[in-house]
């Protein structure tokens, strides 16, 4: 990085003012750099989704680097430079700029004005800091940007209304019925103020007592009609909510299950759970508040028209008072947007912290770290409560102002209306009817104003849902392929987790013949496990091919691919249920004989028979009621159920004793299936047909155990190190 700011990146005199940028909040902790650059681009008129920015900046499990942000900015046509600056010289940098913060974060500097530092933090939103706080957190690395000759603007992202309209697609019939019921409900609502005027002017003042009985019957009919229409509307709303909640939730989970493993590696489990729950929150708004406010909107329009008919002067005065309410609540709603996004993000982090504490309780207890884990959890809880408190303050304004303005509007109507009655420009019945119309107009208007805040609040939920829906699913085939010879071939394979970094696997080529056993060994970080995941189809290679029986792995229909390739890794997970459900994964077509044979070959048949219930023996979540070796054997049995042609074993027998491991190896040979064994314990793979040695993502040796030992190369060194 340059140590001095280039001349092209200097402020012109008199330009030291704040430049606010649109807020783009990170969803995951590792996305701060991507979100910061998205804010810079949005400020210049280029709107990029966080999903696209994550890919362009190469966000991985460890986040991204400043150099990647500069590369990504230049790819969008910005002139971008990084350099070092002291905090007191940041005025020399064109704002907005990206600052490296606390050595593990990026924020956007909007400006420094009158000693106040304005930042937009992708984790929490806009902040105003003192210069001392800036100096303490700023690491000295700043990234500056200006429009280049190739920069192109783009249209703004979809508004909340457009996103909601997209979510409502497919529910038009339900919406039509709700709107129909809403329109019909307006009729009795408009009739009641008219009845009030007739009762005062024609019955009470004019003394037409013979009108009383028909008037009472008509009033009772209108009340009954209103009750029936309300019941019909609520029934339609319940059906609409059910449709909007069930179908999108099912689509969300189905979509999640189709995404590649990289999607889950870059996101916290709590955040993924939060995306599923977001469907329910959006459905409740769309079917509840939104559908109800269709009624409010139509009612407001109808009452406004009737108020103009009764007395245009009073109506205009009332409309001006209500316009003030709308402006105030709009101002409050804008303040709620960032707080609502921060609240949703922090809720996901709190759930993740809770899950990790519960799932790792044995490690926490063994290392006596309960206090530290609780302190971390309490930190998330405190931040969540702080955001909720700030949001509640704005909610108080939103809730108090309407009531206050309603009282003031009512006083104004009574005062101005009384003057018009005394002047003979309005009857007493007309004034009372107008007052009733004003109250009826104000209530649904409050609902519409509150809806604006609700819509802003769910933008964060819509963003999380969009994160899943816009993610590219794993490429799979649509039909079964003809397989005669289950030969696995890997040719010229390259792969990495970060597209801007060098590949972790570079030009890998190997083959596994049917029935043969091939081992992959190497030091820690050599790429063995990553290669196994790519061959298993969990990740798509950057370059090269993985074929089975001459067909690309992506050409196979998912079920056929699972029948051809089984994968057992070192991280075993068992689902809550029974041994049967863990082996069959809820497939009712599997016969018990197949399950028992798989258990026997995995060396688990005796252990299962000793448990009450046999195949129906209880398995707790994560398999906590089984030993480590038993969990590994259950995982192995699960893979054997489908009798794959190739079985990939990534340290799948590390928890077994030598006798149990020998039993498993013998049974696998008896089945005649090919095995690709990723091993750290070299003593278990000496009898393999071929041993492939990896180092730094490349194959450096291959051959039998005897040949490699005679070569006295990398494999010989690994064996000596283990000995």
pLDDT tens, position by position, 255-270: 888 888 878 877 777 7
Across the beta sheet with 646-650, what order do the strands follow? 565-568, 646-650, 674-678, 517-522, 690-695, 698-703
> What's the rounded mean pLDDT across residues 556-578?
87
Asked, for residue 155, whether it belongs to a domain, the answer is no
Q: Cβ distance 67 to 87 under 8 Å?
A: no
Share of the chain above pLDDT 90, in %: 28
Q: Residue 1's pLDDT band (boundaries 50, 70, 90)?
A: very low
Query: Does position 335 have pLDDT exceeding 80, yes or no?
Result: no
Task: Say whether both 23 and 59 belong to one domain.
Answer: yes
Q: Is the same domain home to 450 and 541?
A: no
Q: Does 479 map to a domain?
A: no
Asked if residues 452 and 333 have their Cβ atoms less than 8 Å apart, the reply is yes
Position 198 pLDDT exceeds 80: no
Q: In terms of domains, do 565 and 707 share one? A: yes
User: What sign results for the dihedral spanned by CA atoms 534, 536, 537, 539?
Assistant: negative
Residue 293 lies in a domain: yes
* CATH code for the domain of 575: 3.40.50.300
**Which letter, b or e, does each residue of 446-470 get, where b requires 16 or more Cβ atoms within 10 Å of its Cβ?**
bbbbbbbbbbbbbbbbbbbbbbbee
Region 154-159: mean pLDDT is: 72
The confidence score (pLDDT) of residue 441 equals: 81
- Residue 688: how many other CB atoms lie within 10 Å: 20
Segment 679-687 shows an average pLDDT of 83
**pLDDT range class, residue 3, cuts 50, 70, 90:** very low
Mean pLDDT is lowest, of 205-214, 408-417, 435-444, for 205-214
- In the chain the first and final C-alpha atoms are separated, in Å, by 46
Residue of higher predicted confidence among 532 and 319: 532
Question: Residues 125, 177: one domain?
Answer: no
Give the residue-averaged pLDDT of 361-366: 82
Mean residue pLDDT of the chain comes to: 83
Give the residue numbers spanning the domain of 208: 160-469
- How large is the average pLDDT for residues 599-624? 90
Model confidence at 647, in pLDDT bands (50, 70, 90)?
Answer: very high
pLDDT at position 110 is 94
Q: How many CB atoms lie within 10 A of CB 191?
A: 17
Q: Is residue 127 over pLDDT 80?
A: yes
Q: How does residue 243 score in pLDDT terms, banded at 50, 70 and 90?
A: confident
Q: State whether 442 and 545 are in the same domain.
A: no
The listed range with the strongest mean pLDDT (289-303, 378-392, 528-542) is 528-542
Confidence of residue 581 (pLDDT cuts 50, 70, 90): very high
* Least confidently predicted of 211-220, 482-491, 623-632: 211-220
138 and 262 assigned to the same domain: no
Out of 147, 172, 189, pick the residue that ends a domain.
147
The per-residue pLDDT for 39 is 95
pLDDT for residue 333: 63
Pair 344, 453 in one domain: yes
Is the same domain home to 51 and 91?
A: yes
Judged against a pLDDT cut of 70, whether residue 338 lies above it is answered with no
Tell me if 544 sits within 8 A of 715, measured CB to CB.
Answer: no
Q: For the chain, how many structural domains are there in total? A: 3
Q: What is the largest CA-CA distance in the chain?
A: 121
User: Taking 60 as the threshold, does the pLDDT of residue 12 lie above it?
Assistant: no
pLDDT at 16: 55
| pLDDT interval class at 141 (50, 70, 90) | very high
Q: What pLDDT sits at residue 481?
A: 76
Q: Which residue has the higher pLDDT, 332 or 115?
A: 115
Q: Is 105 a domain residue?
A: yes
Q: Looking at residue 190, what is its pLDDT?
A: 67
Range with the largest mean pLDDT of 272-281, 401-410, 646-655 = 646-655
pLDDT of residue 144: 95
Domain check: are 130 and 166 in the same one? no
Instruction: Provide the pLDDT confidence category of residue 2 given band limits of 50, 70 and 90.
Output: very low
The CATH number that applies at residue 373 is 1.20.1560.10
Higher-pLDDT residue of 11, 637: 637
Asked if the model's pLDDT at residue 688 lies above 60, the reply is yes
pLDDT at 7: 40
Residue 584 has a CB neighbour count (10 Å cut-off) of: 21
> 333-337, 389-393, 718-722 — which is least confidently predicted?
333-337
- Whether 153 maps to a domain, the answer reads no
Q: Do 258 and 362 belong together in one domain?
A: yes
Same-domain pairing of 500 and 586: yes
Angle at 285 between CA 284 and CA 289, to 5 degrees: 115
Q: What is the mean pLDDT of residues 153-174?
A: 69
Asked if the structure places residue 385 within a domain, the reply is yes
Which of 435, 469, 503 is where one domain is finished? 469
The burial of 652, by beta-carbon neighbours within 10 Å (0-12 exposed, 13-18 middle, 19 or more buried), is given as buried
Q: Looking at the domain assignment, is residue 311 inside a domain?
A: yes
Q: What CATH number has the domain bearing residue 40?
A: 3.90.70.10
Q: Give tens-digit pLDDT for 424-462.
A: 888 777 777 787 778 778 778 777 777 776 776 677 777
- The residues with which 108 forms a beta bridge, in sequence order, are 98, 120
Please identify, among 113, 147, 181, the residue that sits at the C-terminal boundary of a domain: 147
**pLDDT reading at 4 higher than 60:** no
> What local confidence, expressed as pLDDT, does residue 526 receive?
92
Residue 513 pLDDT level (bands cut at 50, 70, 90): very high
Contact 175, 240 (CB under 8 A): yes
C-alpha separations of 640 from 93, 312, 457, 494, 672 in Å: 62, 81, 48, 29, 12
For the ranges 219-233, 458-472, 525-539, 642-656, the one whose mean pLDDT is highest = 525-539
Tens of pLDDT, residue by residue over 41-68, are 999 999 998 888 988 898 876 788 999 9
Considering the domain boundaries, does residue 578 fall inside one?
Answer: yes
pLDDT recorded at residue 457:
67
Does the pLDDT value for residue 539 go beyond 70? yes
- Lowest model confidence (mean pLDDT) among 102-111, 187-196, 631-640: 187-196
Q: Same domain for 450 and 492? A: no
Per-residue confidence (pLDDT) for residue 287, from 0 to 100? 67
């Amino acid at each position: 990085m340059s140590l001095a700011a280039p001349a092209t990146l200097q402020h012109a005199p008199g330009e030291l003012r704040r430049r606010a940028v649109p807020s783009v909040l990170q969803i995951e902790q590792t996305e701060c750099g991507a979100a910061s650059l998205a804010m810079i681009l949005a400020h210049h008129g280029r709107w990029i989704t966080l999903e696209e920015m994550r890919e362009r900046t190469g966000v991985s499990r460890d986040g991204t680097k400043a150099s990647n942000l500069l590369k990504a900015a230049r790819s969008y046509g910005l002139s971008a430079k990084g350099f070092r600056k002291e905090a007191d010289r940041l005025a020399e940098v064109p704002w907005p700029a990206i600052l490296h913060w606390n050595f593990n974060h990026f924020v956007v500097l909007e400006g420094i004005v009158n000693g106040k530092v304005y930042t937009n933090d992708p984790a929490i939103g806009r902040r105003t800091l003192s210069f001392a706080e800036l100096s303490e957190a700023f690491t000295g690395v700043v990234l500056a940007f200006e429009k280049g000759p190739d920069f192109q603007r783009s249209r703004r992202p979809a508004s909340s209304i457009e996103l909601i309209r997209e979510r409502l697609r497919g529910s038009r019939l339900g919406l039509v019925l709700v709107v129909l019921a809403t329109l019909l409900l307006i009729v009795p609502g408009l009739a009641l103020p008219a009845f009030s005027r007739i009762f005062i002017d024609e019955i009470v003042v004019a003394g037409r007592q013979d009108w009383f009985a028909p008037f009472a019957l008509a009033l009772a009919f209108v009340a009954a009609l209103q009750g029936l229409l309300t019941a019909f509307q609520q029934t339609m709303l319940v059906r609409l909510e059910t449709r909007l909640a069930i179908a999108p939730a099912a689509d969300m989970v189905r979509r999640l299950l189709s995404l590649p493993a990289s999607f889950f590696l870059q996101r916290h489990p709590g955040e993924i759970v939060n995306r599923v729950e977001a469907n329910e929150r959006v459905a409740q708004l769309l079917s509840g508040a939104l559908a109800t406010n269709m009624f409010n909107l139509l009612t407001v329009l109808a009452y406004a028209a009737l108020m103009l008919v009764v007395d245009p002067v009073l109506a205009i005065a009332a409309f001006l008072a209500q316009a003030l309410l709308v402006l105030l609540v709009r101002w409050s709603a804008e303040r709620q947007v960032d707080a609502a996004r921060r609240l949703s993000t922090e809720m996901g982090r709190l759930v993740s912290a809770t899950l990790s504490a519960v799932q790792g309780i044995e490690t926490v207890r063994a290392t006596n770290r309960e206090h530290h884990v609780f302190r971390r959890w309490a930190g998330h809880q405190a931040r969540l409560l702080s955001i909720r408190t700030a949001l509640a303050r704005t909610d108080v304004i939103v809730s108090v102002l309407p009531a206050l303005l309603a009282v003031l509007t009512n006083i104004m109507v009574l005062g101005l209306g009384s003057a018009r009655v005394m002047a003979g420009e309005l009857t007493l019945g007309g004034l009372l009817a107008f007052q009733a119309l004003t109250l009826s107009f104000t209530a649904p208007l409050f609902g519409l104003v509150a809806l604006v805040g609700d819509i802003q609040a769910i933008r964060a939920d819509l963003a999380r849902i969009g994160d899943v829906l816009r993610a590219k699913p794993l490429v799979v085939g649509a039909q079964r392929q003809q397989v005669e010879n289950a030969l696995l071939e890997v040719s010229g394979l390259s792969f990495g987790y970060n597209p801007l970094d060098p590949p972790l696997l570079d030009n890998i080529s190997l083959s596994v013949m049917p029935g043969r056993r091939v081992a992959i060994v190497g030091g820690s970080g050599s790429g063995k496990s990553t290669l196994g995941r790519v061959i298993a189809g969990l990740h798509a290679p950057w370059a090269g091919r993985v074929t089975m029986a001459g067909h690309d792995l992506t050409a196979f229909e998912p079920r056929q691919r699972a029948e051809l390739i089984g994968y057992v890794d070192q991280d075993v997970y068992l689902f809550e249920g029974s041994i049967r459900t863990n082996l069959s994964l809820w497939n009712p077509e599997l016969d018990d004989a197949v399950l028992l044979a798989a258990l026997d070959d995995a060396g688990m048949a005796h252990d299962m028979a000793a448990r009450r219930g046999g195949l129906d023996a209880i398995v707790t979540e994560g398999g906590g009621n089984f030993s480590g070796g038993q969990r590994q054997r259950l995982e192995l049995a699960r893979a054997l159920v489908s009798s794959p042609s190739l079985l990939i074993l990534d340290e799948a027998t590390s928890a077994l004793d030598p006798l149990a491991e020998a039993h498993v190896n013998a049974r696998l040979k008896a089945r005649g299936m090919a095995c690709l064994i990723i091993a750290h314990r070299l003593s278990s793979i000496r009898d393999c047909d071929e041993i492939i040695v990896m180092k730094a993502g490349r194959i450096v040796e291959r051959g039998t155990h005897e040949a490699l030992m005679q070569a006295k190369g990398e494999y010989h060194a690994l064996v000596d190190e283990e000995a």
